[in-house]
Structures are given as structure tokens and as C-alpha cells.
């Protein structure tokens, strides 16, 4: 399952849609306050859940019997207190509020928490406000392990006291309607993905850090997670003698080039980046790659 939150709650594969719930008469599914633009990648939008709003996926998943990974991009818009039940919630399934029967994937007091209700993994990293983070929560039931990742890197793991044993016909995206004692906060969520398996560290690092990938296999399209296809190609061809499959052939004149635009984080401060590519030069001088800020 995957939700892009580009102005609506449609699930990408149109298989697991649900319904929006709001206890605030001023917030509906079409309210401007519910959507913030751009999203984490500089495109589309993200959902801005308020404490009294959430989305219900009315679908039965026996999460007690399977492995699973939930990942998303989030941005915290408030300052947490030191209280342990100071929550920003992403994903939950709750049969009852007793040990190991209530799954909640949250940011608690600024730290990632994979909660089974009283049998929880809590990371020791505090998130900053107004900054996009990639977070991932992994439960490996077969190995009896909980994991949390931040920006593609493992932050913490533990063995729960008991396996998760909750059972519910609903999954909640956003704030926790069943936990009235918690101090719930609003925040942004974008591109939330749920899969019924353990994603490994390499997959999660790619998901968190890969911005664009152009394999140039008879196509100028981006094969990465963000579909950055704002491309221009002038006097270029594809050659079958690539390092892997085909390659893009650039001519020897300034009139031959491939250009792509829309890299949001290149224009932001405090973000590192790198480029990598395979080359087969015909000459020993010339430009390989150029970045222009405009």
C-alpha cells in the first residue's frame, strides 16, 4: 500500500482506500488546511493531519502473523514536551489498549517509537522541527525484532517481550483516536508506504536518499522514487554498449546534451548531496556534469 497525499487520500493502487474522519467542523477532506505544498520532494503536496483528524483504512490485516515495514516522509511543526505520551502519530492498529495488542508508530517526545503498547522500541535521536525526515518502522516477527530507521540508517533495535498479538479490521493513518490520554500534535506526512515484509537496510537507504536515477535504457525517464521527468535531450542517442544495458551517447559539440530540472533540495541549505555515473569518454577533456542554480 502507498499513499502519496497529493491533494487526496487515494491509495496508489486503488486497492486500499478508506474514509476521512474529522471532529473539527472547519476541516473537511477538501480543506486547504489539510494539504501543504510542496511535499518532501518539492512536488505535489503532503497531508497536514490536525490532532482531531485521521484517515481510516477499513481493511483487515493480520499484522500479528506477518512481518511488515512502514515508511514515510515526515516534518514536525511543533516543539515536543518531555512527557512520554507527547505524540505525533503516523500509523496504528489497535484491538485494545493493553500490552502487545495495540500497534502505534509514532514520534514520541521527539523520538521514533515502534509501540506495542507497553512493549516499545524508542530511539535515542531527537528530531528537529520544520525539517523533512525519512522514517521507517520494521517488525520482523519471524526473528522477533523491532527496528527503527532514520534517513535510511538504523537507529535502534530490540527484541520485544512478547510478539505483537493485536487484531483489528481498521488501520489508522494520522492521530490516534483510541488514546484519549495522549497529547496529540499535528504535522506533515508524505509518501507513506506499507509492505508485508522486512525491507533491508539497502532498500531503506535507497528509499531515503535516492533522488533520481536515469538508467538511459532506451528511455530518458527517471527510474527513481520521485519520477523527476522534466527532461530535455538534444542530439543524443542510445548506444547498446553501455556499462549496464544501454548508455546515453553525447556528441562532441555543445549542441548535444541531456538536461533535467526540478531538484528541490539542491536549492536548500544544510543538505548534502552526491552524483555518481559511469562514463566512457571519447576525448580526454570536456564537461561531464554541470549544476546550475536559477
Q: What is the CATH number of the domain that holds 112?
A: 2.60.120.200
- pLDDT of 214: 93
Do you know the residue count of the chain? Answer: 294
Domain count, the chain: 2
69 and 142 together in one domain: yes
- Is residue 17 domain-shared with residue 27, that is, in the same domain? yes
CB proximity list for 46: less than 8 A, separation 6 or greater: 5, 35, 36, 37, 39, 40, 73, 75, 188, 189, 190
Which one is predicted more confidently, 21 or 226?
A: 21
Between residues 55 and 225, the one the model is more confident about:
55
Same domain flag for 68 and 38: yes
Same domain, 32 and 130: yes
For 269-282, the pLDDT digits (tens) are 777 888 999 999 88
- Write down which residue in 162, 191, 209 finishes a domain: 209
Q: What is the pLDDT of residue 159?
A: 96
Place of cell 532498500: 203
Q: Is the pLDDT of residue 290 over 90?
A: no
**pTM of the shown model:** 0.87
**pLDDT tens column, 178-218:** 776 677 788 899 999 999 999 999 999 999 999 899 999 99
Asked whether residue 234 falls in the same domain as residue 125, the answer is no
Q: What is the C-alpha separation between 255 and 174, in angstroms, rounded?
A: 50
Q: What is the pLDDT of residue 223?
A: 87
- Residue 157 phi/psi, 5° resolution? -145, 160
Average confidence score pLDDT of the chain: 89
Both 183 and 62 in one domain: the answer is yes
209 class by beta-carbon count within 10 Å (0-12 exposed, 13-18 middle, 19+ buried): middle
N- to C-terminal Cα distance for the chain? Answer: 37
* Pair 191, 221 in one domain: no
Range of the domain at 141: 2-209
pLDDT of residue 180: 65
Same domain? 282 vs 169: no
Query: Can you say whether residue 74 is alpha, beta or left, with left for phi > 0 and alpha for psi between -120 and 50 degrees?
Result: beta
Residues 149 and 10 in one domain: yes
| Phi–psi pair at 64, nearest 5 degrees | -75, -15
CA distance 81 to 183: 9
Domain boundary among 209, 237, 268: 209
With cut-offs at 50, 70 and 90, classify the pLDDT of residue 75.
very high
pLDDT of res. 96 = 84
Answer whether 81's CB lies under 8 Å from 183's CB: yes
Q: Which of 179, 209, 239 is where one domain is finished?
A: 209
Same structural domain, 39 and 103: yes
Same domain, residue pair 224 and 191:
no
- The pLDDT of residue 35 is above 80: yes
Q: What is the per-residue pLDDT across 112-165, written as a single tens digit (0 to 9) for each?
A: 999 999 899 999 888 988 889 999 999 999 999 999 999 999 999 999 999 999
Same domain flag for 163 and 190: yes
The whole-number average pLDDT for the span 168-175 is: 89
Amino acid at each position: 500500500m502507498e499513499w502519496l497525499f497529493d491533494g487526496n487520500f487515494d491509495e496508489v493502487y486503488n486497492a486500499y482506500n478508506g474514509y476521512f474522519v474529522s471532529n473539527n467542523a472547519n476541516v473537511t477532506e477538501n480543506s486547504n488546511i489539510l494539504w501543504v505544498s510542496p511535499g518532501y520532494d518539492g512536488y505535489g503536496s503532503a497531508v497536514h493531519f490536525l490532532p482531531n483528524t485521521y484517515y481510516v483504512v477499513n481493511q483487515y490485516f493480520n499484522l500479528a502473523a506477518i512481518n511488515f515495514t512502514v515508511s514515510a516522509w515526515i516534518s514536525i511543526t511543533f516543539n515536543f514536551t518531555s512527557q512520554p505520551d507527547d505524540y505525533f502519530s503516523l500509523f496504528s492498529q489497535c484491538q485494545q489498549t493493553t500490552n502487545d495488542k495495540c500497534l502505534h508508530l509514532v514520534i514520541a517526545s521527539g523520538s521514533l517509537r515502534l509501540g506495542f503498547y507497553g512493549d516499545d522500541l524508542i530511539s535515542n535521536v531527537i528530531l528537529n522541527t520544520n525539517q523533512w525526515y525519512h522514517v521507517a518502522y520494521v517488525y520482523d516477527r519471524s526473528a522477533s525484532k523491532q527496528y527503527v530507521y532514520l534517513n535510511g540508517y538504523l537507529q535502534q533495535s530490540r527484541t520485544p517481550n512478547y510478539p505483537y498479538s493485536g487484531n483489528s479490521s481498521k488501520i489508522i493513518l494520522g492521530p490516534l483516536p483510541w488514546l484519549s490520554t495522549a497529547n496529540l500534535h499535528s504535522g506533515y506526512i508524505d509518501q507513506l508506504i506499507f509492505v508485508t515484509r522486512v525491507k533491508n537496510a539497502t532498500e531503506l537507504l535507497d528509499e531515503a536518499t535516492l533522488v533520481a536515477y536515469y538508467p538511459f535504457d532506451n528511455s530518458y525517464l527517471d527510474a527513481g522514487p520521485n519520477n523527476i521527468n522534466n527532461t530535455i535531450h538534444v542530439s543524443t542517442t542510445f548506444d547498446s554498449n553501455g556499462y549496464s544495458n544501454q548508455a546515453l551517447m553525447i556528441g562532441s559539440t555543445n549542441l548535444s546534451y541531456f538536461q533535467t530540472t526540478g531538484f528541490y533540495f539542491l536549492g536548500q541549505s544544510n543538505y548534502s548531496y552526491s552524483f555518481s555515473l559511469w562514463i566512457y569518454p571519447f576525448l580526454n577533456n570536456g564537461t561531464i556534469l554541470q549544476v546550475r542554480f536559477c
